Amino acid sequence: MAIIHRTTLSPTKLELLAGWLPLRPWYRGAGDVSRLARAGGFRLDDPEGEVGIEFMVVTDASGDGPVAHLVPLTYRGAPLDGAGDGLVGTLEHGVLGMRWVYDGAHDPVMVERLAALLAGRAAAQAQSESDTPDPTVEVLAGPAGVPASLTGAGKVSDSADATVIGVGPAGGPGPLLDLTLSRVLLAGPAAAGGNGLLGQVLAGWTDPDGAARRGVFATLGAPGH
């Protein structure tokens, strides 16, 4: 169970993201990072209790209209070997001390727990409350279902609006699948089935004007689904 501490962070999460987010290939804002705002999300628990996992939505109102970006983050007490490309930065936590913050796409613990969520082996947790499930996060499985155990992170590829992570069966050979994070969130219904789609996660966020939005955060399927 993840424990949410009411404490200080230096720098804050938004301050940390201000230097990182505009450099991403999927960033759609105009670069005025003073307009960044937290807008929703959820958490997943690490069964080992070592890694904090947060799916954060950040809105950017610096352009012609607000853009909602999905920024999955992991928080660790020590650097993650081999994940230098995914390091967002470090911050000082008022209770836990120094934390290394990673783009979750590069963290195998986040990838495994997201796959577990899609397979029905994990439950989404409230973003700001300890030991509180978030029933607004919806998981939909395709006709073929989701493999019971997947591992990653494999190859991580960014595009103009998404990040694709290669995943495969844990501990054995099998077909590789694409775990896709919707980095630019669009309000709308679940993705259409077919074309190898095995599962998807839908959740909500709030626009700067207070409007509630909901859309697809992540999908799992055959390559190119």
Residues of the chain with pLDDT under 70: 1-7, 10, 94-95, 152-153, 170-175, 194-195
Question: Residue 5's pLDDT is what?
Answer: 57
Per-residue pLDDT at 173: 65
* CA atoms of 105 and 153, how far apart (whole Å): 7
Q: Residue 62 has what pLDDT?
A: 82
The confidence score (pLDDT) of residue 68 equals 96
**Count of Cβ atoms closer than 10 Å to residue 141 Cβ:** 16
- Contact between 93 and 99 under an 8 Å Cβ cutoff? The reply is yes
Contact assessment for residue 115 and residue 168, using Cβ atoms and an 8 Å cutoff: no
Q: Where are the alpha helices (DSSP H) in the chain?
A: 13-20, 108-118
User: Residues 68, 39: contact at Cβ < 8 Å?
Assistant: yes
The alpha-helical segments, DSSP class H, found in 28-177 are 108-118
pLDDT in the model for residue 189? 92
Question: Which residue, chain included where needed, has tokens 């008022």?
Answer: 94
| Token pair belonging to 49 | 């209790």
Query: pLDDT at position 1, please?
Result: 58
Cβ-contact 101, 94 below 8 angstroms: no
Task: Give tens-digit pLDDT for 170-186.
Answer: 666 666 899 999 999 99
Distance of alpha carbon 7 from alpha carbon 99, whole angstroms:
14
**Helix, coil or strand: residue 145:** coil
